Structure 1
Amino acid sequence: MSITLTDQDKSTLRTAAYGAVTLMSAADAAGKPHKVATEGSIALASATGLVGHVLAEKTRDINLNGKSVAAIADHVLPALTAAMSLLKQQDPAEAGNFRRTVLVAIEAAARTHQGRPNLTMADMTRKITEALDAA
Structure 2
Amino acid sequence: MTQPLSAEERATLKSAAFGAVYLVSNAEPGALSMIKESLAASNAFARTTGLVRELLTTGNLPQLPSGASADVPATVLPALRRSVEILRTKAPGEVASYRSAVLHATEVVARAHDGISANEAAVLASVREALDSAD
- TM-score, normalised to structure 1, is 0.89
Structure 2 gaps of 5+ residues are none
Residues 65-90 of structure 1: per-residue CA shift (max 9 Å, x gap) = 32322222221111100000110122
Does 2:106 align with 1:106? yes
Name the count of aligned residue pairs.
Answer: 133
Structure 1 gaps of 5+ residues are none
Note the 1:1-135 alignment, pairs <5 A.
1-30=1-30, 32-60=33-61, 62-114=62-114, 116-135=115-134
**Contact kept in structure 2, 1:17 and 1:44, CA below 8 Å:** no
Measure, in 2, the Cα distance between the counterparts of 1:128 and 1:21: 9
Deviation at 1:130, TM superposition (A): 0.7
Measure, in 2, the Cα distance between the counterparts of 1:71 and 1:64: 12
**Contact kept in structure 2, 1:66 and 1:72, CA below 8 Å:** yes
Deviation at 1:92, TM superposition (A): 2.5
Cα-Cα RMSD: 1.7
**Contact kept in structure 1, 2:40 and 2:105, CA below 8 Å:** yes
The secondary structure found in structure 1 opposite 2:98 is helix
**Contact kept in structure 1, 2:65 and 2:76, CA below 8 Å:** no
Moved more, 27-36 or 119-128: 27-36
The secondary structure found in structure 2 opposite 1:94 is helix
The structure whose RCO (Cα within 8 Å, separation 6+) is larger is 2
Deviation at 1:23, TM superposition (A): 0.7
Measure, in 1, the Cα distance between the counterparts of 2:96 and 2:124: 17
